[in-house]
Amino acid sequence: MKRFRNSHTKVKTILSVFEGYEKLTIKDIITRLEDRGYTIKKNHLRMFIYYNMLFKYLKKESVRGVCYYYLIR
């Protein structure tokens, strides 16, 4: 199992999960990270995205109570 070294590598790996203009939930992001060998908890990822990535790299859209994240282009 892999661990993240610092926040910069965590940002790059999370951004590499997205392909094009797709919208992903936290659950989808976690499953793609686990396929690559990383282990991360749902709440840790949610807080990391909120404090370090939201409005800088990702945007958030809420549809029927489910939050979808997508890349800013």
Closest C-alpha to 7, from 37, 52, 42: 52
Three-state DSSP class for residue 53: helix
Quick: pLDDT tens for 3-53: 777 889 999 999 999 999 899 999 999 999 999 999 989 999 999 999 999
- Whether 18 contacts 68, CB under 8 Å: no
* Contact (CB, 8 A) for 58 and 24: no
Element at 56 (helix H, strand E) = none
CB-based contact 24:70 (threshold 8 Å): yes
Confidence at residue 1, expressed as pLDDT on a 0 to 100 scale: 64
Tell me the three state secondary structure of residue 62. Answer: strand
For the chain, list the domains and their CATH numbers.
7-71 (1.10.10)
